[in-house]
């Protein structure tokens, strides 16, 4: 009887231990499954975060590039719109017409939005066959003006042909257009951005323009930076 009781207790304890082992093993399996799903969820969450971070970085990079381009465009536009632009506005013969002394007046104007600083200019007027593309080099005399030219301001530059060079023959030739009176020169100045600039011009009076004394721009020799 005692033996049966001991065997019964041992069997009960073994069954209880087996049950606990099963429960413990099941709990471990459940924990493992939960950890697996947690890992899968974390992996997906990290992947989505990386994707969002990449999209944000790309958007930020594109925004920075766009901002840089906008600043560069604004700087270029402002330099173009707010700079001085000095060039010849017109040139006309002054004084008596016909075979006599030939004098002209060149009007230089600042077409820009801000003043032109240290503005200086030099020019020459010569009589040459028409057409002509070669002109003697200009040389500064040392007495050229240097001034500040505000926006829309003008300055007049008088020029005279050498005495005795415009007689009856020259008057006829210029009137027919076989010869022409040329004015050419250059203008130097500083714009508002402290950049030195140079404008070159070349004009002529002959043929149809000769009656009115008006000078027209030549096809070559006119440029401005």
* pLDDT given for residue 12 in this prediction: 62
* pLDDT given for residue 82 in this prediction: 74
* pLDDT given for residue 51 in this prediction: 72
* pLDDT given for residue 221 in this prediction: 93
* pLDDT given for residue 14 in this prediction: 61
* pLDDT given for residue 50 in this prediction: 65
Distance between CA atoms of 105 and 157, rounded to whole angstroms?
6
Q: What letter would DSSP give residue 62?
A: H
Q: Which tens digits make up the pLDDT trace of 116-129? A: 999 999 999 999 99
* pLDDT given for residue 77 in this prediction: 46
The end-to-end CA distance of the chain, in Å, is 123
* Residue 187 and residue 86 in contact, taking contact as beta carbons nearer than 8 Å: yes
Q: What is the dihedral of CA 69, 75, 200, 105, to 10 degrees?
A: 140
* pLDDT given for residue 41 in this prediction: 75
* Nearest C-alpha neighbor of 121 from the set 181, 219, 200: 200
* Residue 157 and residue 144 in contact, taking contact as beta carbons nearer than 8 Å: no
Distance between CA atoms of 165 and 125, rounded to whole angstroms?
12
Distance between CA atoms of 89 and 214, rounded to whole angstroms?
12
Q: State the Rg of the chain over Cα.
A: 46
Distance between CA atoms of 102 and 166, rounded to whole angstroms?
7
Task: Give every residue of the chain whose pLDDT is below 50, as ranges.
Answer: 2-7, 67, 70-74, 76-77
* pLDDT given for residue 161 in this prediction: 92
* pLDDT given for residue 42 in this prediction: 76
* pLDDT given for residue 128 in this prediction: 95
* pLDDT given for residue 5 in this prediction: 47
Distance between CA atoms of 117 and 48, rounded to whole angstroms?
60
């Amino acid at each position: 009887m005692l033996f049966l009781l001991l065997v019964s207790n041992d069997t009960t304890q073994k069954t209880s231990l087996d049950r606990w082992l099963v429960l413990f093993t099941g709990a471990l399996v459940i924990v493992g499954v939960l950890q697996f799903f947690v890992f899968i969820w974390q992996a997906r969450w990290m992947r989505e975060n990386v994707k969002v971070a990449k999209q944000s970085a790309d958007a930020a990079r594109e925004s920075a590039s766009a901002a840089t381009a906008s600043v560069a465009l604004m700087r270029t536009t402002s330099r173009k719109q707010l700079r001085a632009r000095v060039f010849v506005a017109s040139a006309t013969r002054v004084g008596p017409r016909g075979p006599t002394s030939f004098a002209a007046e060149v009007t230089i104007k600042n077409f820009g939005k801000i003043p032109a600083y240290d503005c200086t200019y030099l020019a020459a007027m010569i009589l040459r066959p028409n057409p002509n593309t070669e002109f003697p080099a200009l040389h500064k005399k040392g007495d050229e003006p240097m001034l500040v030219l505000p926006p829309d301001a003008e300055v007049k530059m008088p020029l005279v042909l050498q005495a005795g060079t415009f007689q009856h023959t020259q008057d006829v030739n210029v009137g027919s257009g076989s010869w022409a009176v040329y004015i050419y020169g250059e203008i130097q100045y500083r714009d508002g951005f402290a950049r030195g600039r140079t404008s070159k011009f070349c004009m002529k009076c002959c043929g149809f323009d000769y009656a009115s004394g008006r000078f027209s721009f030549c096809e070559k020799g006119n440029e401005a930076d």
